[in-house]
């Protein structure tokens, strides 16, 4: 199966021209060792590399270290030959490259942890992307997995403009479901400060950049990771776009356990929040014995006004 990734080539796309000329994508983070010699397993890889990162960057947090080493694992271990990468060039367009070779290490060069690519002549204009793909390609972080948009990406490469959901012959109920499924997470990210949670917590940031959306763990990504304003508590937020079942409790507890054991600093605690349209008796019973996890309902209002 072919996968698709958005890859940023250096801060503010500074290494785009070098990558074009050298036919590669890559990453650095100051790590000066051959990652090909490390374990392929994500958790083991991080356990081996995070201490080296923190030794190099003692001012950084465990969360910053985990994010950096997660990117390096993607470059060295996860991206496969034949995968497609989209790289912003700083002018509103994305370069398109096909990965040709396995990982290679280039010491003393820019972006030393590399994958060789063949750059295609076609580029993709950001303005032609669907809102969902724009959000995913515009997310904070060096690498973003955008495989779920494979069909749209291939269409854009071929010069086809995707039809938006309003152009389809669907009923208004289907369109409202589409909006909830696609945009609940983005709505919360953009309106966080206006929510109840925003009064006590901030979405996690590193160097002024929001990195708390789709935060990686060894059992899947956390929808939103936040931190209390006094920095003493980390908050794991799991979104359920419809009715939440008690199964989500085990999921969020796994995420909370990872954050507590692998990313929390000494003295920090971890809480969880489930956000859903509705709850039921089973999840209320389960939450009764999980005092460190809360449930919030969201409400959608739709009104018409005569002009």
Q: Kindly write down the DSSP assignment for every residue of 2-50, as one continuous string.
A: --EEEE--SGGGTTHHHHHHHTEEEE-TT--S-GGGS-SSHHHHHHHHH
Q: Compute the mean pLDDT over every residue in the chain, rounded to the nearest whole number.
A: 88
Q: 4-157, what's its fold?
A: ph1033 like fold (3.10.590)
The arithmetic mean of pLDDT across residues 214-232, rounded, is 92
Residue 307 neighbours by CB under 8 Å, 6+ apart: none
Residue 179 neighbours by CB under 8 Å, 6+ apart: none
Instruction: Tell me the two tokens of residue 283.
Output: 């999840």
The arithmetic mean of pLDDT across residues 222-238, rounded, is 96
**Residue 292: helix, strand or coil by DSSP?**
coil
pTM, two decimal places:
0.81
pLDDT at 176 over 70: no
Strands 84-88 and 104-105: unpaired
In the chain, what are the domain boundaries?
4-157, 172-297
Which pLDDT tens digit goes with each residue over 240-293? 876 667 788 999 999 999 999 999 999 999 999 999 888 888 888 999 999 999
Whether 4-157 shares its CATH topology with 172-297 is answered: no
Which pLDDT tens digit goes with each residue over 59-87? 999 999 999 999 999 999 999 999 999 99
To the question of domain 172-297 being in CATH 2.10.240.10, the answer is no
Question: What is the C-alpha R_g of the chain?
Answer: 21
Strands 93-99 and 104-105: unpaired
What's the pLDDT score for residue 167? Answer: 41
Which pLDDT tens digit goes with each residue over 120-156? 999 999 999 988 888 888 776 789 899 999 999 999 9
């Amino acid at each position: 199966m072919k996968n698709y990734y958005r890859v940023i080539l250096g801060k503010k796309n500074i290494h785009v021209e070098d990558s074009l000329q050298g036919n590669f994508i890559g990453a650095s983070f100051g790590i000066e060792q051959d990652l090909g010699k490390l374990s392929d397993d994500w958790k083991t890889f991080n356990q081996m590399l995070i201490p080296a990162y923190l030794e190099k960057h003692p001012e950084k947090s465990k969360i910053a270290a985990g994010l950096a080493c997660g990117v390096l694992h993607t470059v060295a271990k996860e991206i496969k030959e034949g995968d497609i990468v989209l790289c912003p060039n700083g002018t509103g367009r994305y370069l398109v490259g096909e990965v040709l070779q396995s990982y290679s290490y280039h010491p003393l060069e820019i972006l030393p942890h590399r994958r060789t690519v063949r750059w295609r002549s076609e580029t993709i204009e950001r303005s032609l992307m669907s809102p969902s793909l724009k959000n995913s390609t515009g997310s904070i972080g060096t690498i973003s997995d955008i495989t779920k948009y494979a069909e749209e990406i291939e269409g854009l490469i071929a010069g086809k403009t995707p039809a938006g959901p309003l152009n389809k012959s669907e009923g208004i109920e289907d369109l409202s479901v589409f909006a909830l499924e696609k945009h609940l997470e983005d709505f919360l990210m953009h309106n966080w400060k206006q929510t109840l949670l925003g009064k006590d917590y901030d979405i996690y940031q590193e160097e002024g950049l929001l990195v708390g959306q789709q935060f990686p763990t060894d059992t899947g990504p956390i929808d939103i990771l936040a931190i209390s304003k006094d920095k003493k508590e980390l908050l794991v937020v799991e979104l359920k776009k419809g009715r939440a079942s008690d199964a989500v409790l085990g999921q969020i507890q796994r995420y909370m356990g990872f954050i507590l054991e692998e990313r929390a600093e000494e003295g920090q605690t971890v809480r969880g929040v489930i956000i859903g349209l509705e709850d039921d008796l089973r999840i209320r019973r389960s939450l009764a014995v999980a005092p460190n996890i809360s449930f919030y309902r969201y409400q959608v209002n739709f009104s018409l006004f005569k002009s």
